[in-house]
Amino acid sequence: MKIFLHNLEATHRSLFHLTTNQSTPTTNKQQQTIMATFTSGETKSNQITLIGLGNPLLDISANVGQDVFDKYGVLPGNAILAEDKHQPLYKELVDGYPVEYIAGGATQNSIRVAQWMLQDTHPGISAYAGCIGKDEFGAALQDAASGAGVKCLYQVSEDKPTGTCAVLIQDAERSLVANLAAAEQFKLAHWSEPAQQAAINSASIFYMASFFLTHSTDSAELIGKHCSENGKIFCVNLAAPFLVDFFGTQLDTIMPHVDFLFGNETEAASLAKAKGWVNAAGEPVSTAECARLAARAPKANGSRPRVVVFTQGSESTCVACCENLVVYPVEALARELLIDTNGAGDAFVGGFLSQLVQGKELSECVRAGHFSARIIIQRSGCTMPAKSDFK
């Protein structure tokens, strides 16, 4: 089995000429006890600045026919959690198709891409937290993160295997079916351990894809509150339509703490529908208008407005803050150069974060996001060359 390993101060600068500013039950007392160990932090050279929290998964990637999509009821460009009917899929791929094993998980992809972009100028400033199993796949994920210069803050499950994700590829489009396994065993108490406390106190930017909310809303809320109370930046990705549709309550819990909200046009439409943001015909408002409305939603930390970044594939990226909206075009890529869209959104966020941690202007953050996404879609899976030539 060959496993492909990814090589993958909070900014208070002007943005739009403005100063920016189903989970295991837990008690407020538990959160308060852990938060008492955190500090506001001070970013220093070679210390952790960026932390991701998410579901570490090993991707099992294969090119398949429409029959497999139909058999398991999955759609191109979508991401879902595995149900009982999807369990045979993983064995079917391994037994019947040439597969690639690629270290993944949405948030982990983004953090690796960010560190890949930063490897020469800011080595070792990224960390990632999640839960893996005590097995070969977990060891591979840990090797991938460490090899990319990302500090591992893994919790290790003794009784659950490392999570996997079936990546079904057809004509450069993909569908993801995630079996979380150990990933959903992440516990709030993990943050109270010394290594995690030190990283949290050091970091100034935190990033999470909303997949984490399917089991660890308490941890997400803990980090969100820490950011709001200490002037740090909390970034969240809508990640998939089903998360907006079925985990809206969890999203609402953390949204007041969100400083940067990411998503794509499909997820934006789901958010607009869920919030009742519809036009005269009863259809969801445009991606741009949804970004404006999401940017104006209440925030716990009023010292800076929320920035909403919605990608629209090869068309453009909409960025909203307060009443301002900027649309950034995407450079066209020849169809024959497109290999795999898996991880394009994750890579965009990684590129964006690589500039955000350096206090760059928003336009530079978007340009870096477009650059990294363009690299990814010309390769199989979320993998990168050894070096980034972003300038």
pLDDT at 28: 63
pLDDT at residue 341 above 60? yes
Q: What is the pTM of this model?
A: 0.85
Residue 174 to residue 346: CA distance in whole angstroms: 14
The catalytically annotated residue of 59, 218, 259, 346 is 346
Residues 169-207: pLDDT tens digits? 998 788 999 999 999 999 999 999 999 999 999 999 999
Angle, alpha carbons 177-239-73 (nearest 5°):
30
Decide the pairing of beta strands 205-209 and 163-170.
unpaired
pLDDT at 8: 26
Q: Give SS3 for 332.
A: coil
Residue 277 to residue 254: CA distance in whole angstroms: 20
pLDDT at 14: 36
Answer CATH for 3-8+17-376 from 3.40.1190.20, 2.40.420.20, 3.30.390.10, 3.30.920.30: 3.40.1190.20
Backbone angles phi, psi at 236, to 5 degrees: -135, 140
346 is catalytic: yes
Residues 42-83: pLDDT tens digits? 444 469 999 999 999 998 999 999 999 999 999 998 889 999
- Sign, CA dihedral 355-44-56-250, equals negative
